[in-house]
Amino acid sequence: MKITVHRGINQIGGCITEIATDTTRILIDLGKNLPDNSGNNDDYLDSKSEVAQLCNGIDAIFYTHYHGDHVGHFPNVPDSIPQYIGKVSKQVMAIKAEVLQQDIKKVERLKTFQPLDKIAIGNIVVTPYFVSHSAADSYMFLIEAEGKRILHTGDLRGHGYLSKGLVPTLKKYIKQIDFLIIEGTMLSRSNEKVESERELKVRVEKLMAQYKYVFVLASSTDMDRLATFHKANPTGRLFVCDRYQKRVLDLFTANGGSYSDLYKFENLSVFPNNTLLEDMIREGFCMMVRVNKYDGKYSRFTSLTINKIPNSERVLIYSMWGGYLDSERHQNKEYIEFCKRFDNIERIHTSGHASLECLTEVCELTNPRVGIIPIHSERSDNFHLLPITEGLKRRIITTSANVGGIDVEIIDDMTY
Ligand SMILES: [Zn+2]
Ligand SMILES: [Zn+2]
């Protein structure tokens, strides 16, 4: 067996991991590099022929979730290779493709799985287990082949609404493994406070009580965060969004609403609507704003609304990663410009990624016999700083090696 980290060591995003036996090869994720502050992602895979070359001989691809840094290159995968993703993830991607007028047929070709399905590809068996992340319908994969068990965590966290299943899942289904391939985003962001989504909701409720007019900048596909704002919005106040956001929320209601009221996104006020602005001013509102301009009419309506309300009476809640405003490398100019329109800005955000405590717990519970391979981290070596046992620390692999008879190849194409 061979494990290849094509990308993901010492970089966040652009994840690609390969697991190969003598007869079968699969990829976990085929992500795009995250763009820098000028929108440049410096990605050699932005070419159909490069993707085809990387995929040559690959029998299947499994995606942990729909974020672009994990799924971004899927449209260029040759049709002959089956690609698997969660059912709801596929629907989110279909809505996005439609709105952005991308080729919907590419999304339709994706195969879907349910949690706990055992999917056999040649002599490799892949089982998806649900994890909490800032994308709905995210999974970690247990990969079993040639008597070895590998857990690939994808992106996950222990402080979301649905995180309480993580430890029981690890104990009941995963147990001990041979290799752990684990995200380590927070290893280079350890100064960020990791609040739970529930704690965040309490802070949002306080702001909603303070301001009648609340504008929110948040990810349109982060089901937990959307639930936080929707549930914190006082009864009688309007929850305003565009048609695209409504479609995503309706999808989440249809899938998540049956097991928790938290995900029942009801009473949405959707633009366009002739009397909406009057109703908003009278009743108060929580408005999900969109900064990218795919819907010019909604952007103009947002501007109109902002201009109608005195600056002192409105607040913008910025509920995304702070790096888009602060980090030199990842600054987003559109977000920065938009924020300038408000005197009152509150930052309310918690990471979609595992805290250092959560990473430690996953390592200890799965107790990998042979190796721990940190990916999705700008500082994979920082994994040594976690308070895990010396025995586990010795099993951390950040450069190519042959361990326990298994070849681990780690390609580091982006060194910070
Ligand atoms: Zn990611
Ligand atoms: Zn992600």
Query: 410: which 2 tokens?
Result: 């780690």
Q: Cβ neighbours of residue 355 under 8 Å, at least 6 residues apart?
A: 157, 158, 159, 186, 194
Q: How confident is the model at residue 241 (pLDDT cuts 50, 70, 90)?
A: very high
Nearest ligand to residue 351 Cα: 2
Nearest ligand to residue 183 Cα: 1
Query: 93: which 2 tokens?
Result: 């991607």
b vs e for 128-141, b when ≥16 Cβ sit within 10 Å of the residue's Cβ?
bbbbbbbbbbbbbb
The DSSP annotation for 200-224 comes to: HHHHHHHHHHH-SEEEEE--TT-HH
Nearest ligand to residue 156 Cα: 2
CATH architecture under which domain 2-190+352-410 falls:
4-Layer Sandwich (3.60)
Residue 283, φ and ψ in degrees, nearest 5: -90, -20
Q: In the prediction, which pLDDT does 415 show?
A: 41
Residue that is written with structure tokens 């929580």 in the block = 286
> Which own/partner contact pairs does 92-99 have at CB distance under 8 Å and 24+ positions apart?
92/66, 92/135, 92/136, 92/137, 92/221, 92/248, 92/251, 93/66, 95/244, 95/247, 95/248, 95/251, 96/221, 99/244, 99/294, 99/295
Q: pLDDT digit string (tens) for 245-255?
A: 999 999 999 99
Q: How far is the CA of 255 from the centre of ligand 2 (A)?
A: 20
Residue 396, φ and ψ in degrees, nearest 5: -70, 130
The DSSP annotation for 125-154 comes to: EEEEEEE--SSSSEEEEEEEETTEEEEE--
Q: In the prediction, which pLDDT does 34 show?
A: 84
Q: Outline which parts of the chain fall under CATH 3.60.15.10.
A: 2-190+352-410
**Alpha helices (H) in 156-241, listed in sequence order:** 166-169, 197-210, 223-232
Q: In the prediction, which pLDDT does 3 show?
A: 98
* Residues 11, 415 contacting (CB under 8 angstroms): no
Q: How far is the CA of 96 from the centre of ligand 1 (A)?
A: 18
Q: How far is the CA of 183 from the centre of ligand 1 (A)?
A: 8
- The mean-pLDDT minimum among 219-228, 233-242, 289-298 falls in 289-298
Q: How far is the CA of 67 from the centre of ligand 2 (A)?
A: 5
Helix (H, G, I), strand (E, B) or coil at 404: coil
Q: How far is the CA of 272 from the centre of ligand 2 (A)?
A: 31
Residue 263, φ and ψ in degrees, nearest 5: -100, 20
Q: How far is the CA of 209 from the centre of ligand 2 (A)?
A: 32
Q: How confident is the model at residue 414 (pLDDT cuts 50, 70, 90)?
A: low
Q: How far is the CA of 314 from the centre of ligand 2 (A)?
A: 31
Return the CATH number of 197-347, one of 3.30.450.40, 3.30.1280.10, 3.40.50.10710, 3.40.50.300.
3.40.50.10710
Q: How far is the CA of 29 from the centre of ligand 1 (A)?
A: 10
Q: pLDDT digit string (tens) for 95-123?
A: 999 998 889 999 999 999 999 999 999 99
From 12, 331, 365, 58, select the one nearest 188 (Cα to Cα): 12
* Residues 153, 164 contacting (CB under 8 angstroms): no
Nearest ligand to residue 14 Cα: 1
Q: In the prediction, which pLDDT does 331 show?
A: 87
b vs e for 367-403, b when ≥16 Cβ sit within 10 Å of the residue's Cβ?
bbebbbbbbbbbbbebbeebebeeebeebbbbeeeee
Q: In the prediction, which pLDDT does 376 show?
A: 94
Q: Which residues surround ligand 1, an ion (CB under 5 A)?
A: 69, 155
Considering the chain, what is the average pLDDT of its residues? 94
Q: Is the pLDDT of residue 167 over 60?
A: yes
Q: How far is the CA of 181 from the centre of ligand 2 (A)?
A: 15
| Count of beta carbons in the 10 Å neighbourhood of residue 359 | 27
> Which own/partner contact pairs does 31-36 have at CB distance under 8 Å and 24+ positions apart?
31/7, 31/67, 31/68, 31/69, 31/70, 31/71, 31/72, 31/73, 32/68, 32/69, 32/72, 32/73, 33/7, 33/69, 33/414, 34/68, 34/69, 34/330, 35/330, 36/329, 36/330
Q: How far is the CA of 133 from the centre of ligand 1 (A)?
A: 9
Question: How far apart, in whole angstroms, are the C-alpha atoms of residue 159 and residue 107?
Answer: 30
Query: Mean of the pLDDT values across residues 128-134?
Result: 97
Q: How far is the CA of 281 from the centre of ligand 2 (A)?
A: 36
Q: In the prediction, which pLDDT does 193 show?
A: 74
| Count of beta carbons in the 10 Å neighbourhood of residue 273 | 12
Q: pLDDT digit string (tens) for 25-73?
A: 999 999 999 877 677 778 889 989 999 999 999 999 999 999 999 999 9
Q: How far is the CA of 376 from the centre of ligand 1 (A)?
A: 7
* Residues 384, 398 contacting (CB under 8 angstroms): no
Residue 359, φ and ψ in degrees, nearest 5: -60, -45
Give percent above pLDDT 70 in the chain. Answer: 98
Give percent above pLDDT 90 in the chain. Answer: 85
Q: How far is the CA of 70 from the centre of ligand 1 (A)?
A: 6
Question: How far apart, in whole angstroms, are the C-alpha atoms of residue 45 and residue 73?
Answer: 7
Nearest ligand to residue 185 Cα: 1
Q: pLDDT digit string (tens) for 75-88?
A: 999 999 999 999 99
Q: How far is the CA of 285 from the centre of ligand 1 (A)?
A: 32
Q: In the prediction, which pLDDT does 192 show?
A: 72
Question: How far apart, in whole angstroms, are the C-alpha atoms of residue 380 and residue 357?
Answer: 16
Q: How confident is the model at residue 328 (pLDDT cuts 50, 70, 90)?
A: confident
Nearest ligand to residue 31 Cα: 1
Query: Mean of the pLDDT values across residues 311-339?
Result: 92
Q: In the prediction, which pLDDT does 416 show?
A: 35
Q: Outline which parts of the chain fall under CATH 3.40.50.10710.
A: 197-347
